[in-house]
Amino acid sequence: MTLLRLFLWFFALAYLLPLAISAGLYFNSGSGAGWRIADRSSAGLLPPAAAHRPALVRVFAAQTVRWRGIFATHCWIVFKPEGAAAYTRYDYTAWGEPIRMNGFEADGRWFGHAPETVFALDGAEAAAMIPALRDAIASYARRERGDYRAGRDPTPTPSSPP
């Protein structure tokens, strides 16, 4: 019985306490004005594209909307080839076309939540990565309506049905 009690205390401290803290922080910050009118403006993380000549690759992440924000973030990819006048943003969403190009500001808030930079690359290394990113996006297997499933591995494998 002592081992079971020890396990339950460990579970409470290692899993339930962080979850409760995350939920408390989320509810304390408020869920915003609602997804329909939430702020999606630029968070000012990127320089104006025309003023930034080198190639650029960024991955951004922001807290998701409503209760999912306790657990999850939404991530997206932004890139700009050298000398390009605009950024290109790709999102994978649960509504409309799953792969969305330039549906939102490149460094825009995700339904009111400011993004954080997860990955940054500039210059020649970014320029070398952009063709691979374009190829990966173009050949992504789960690109049809209905393919998006939150919480599942988005990449089909030979042992899992599409």
- Specify the long-range contacts of residues 20-26, CB closer than 8 Å, at least 24 apart: 22/70, 22/71, 23/70, 26/63, 26/67, 26/69, 26/70
Q: What is the pLDDT of residue 88?
A: 96
Mean pLDDT by 10 residues, the chain (162 residues): 83 76 67 66 91 95 77 90 96 79 91 91 97 92 68 52 46
Q: What is the pLDDT of residue 77?
A: 97
Q: What is the pLDDT of residue 64?
A: 81
Q: What is the pLDDT of residue 35?
A: 62
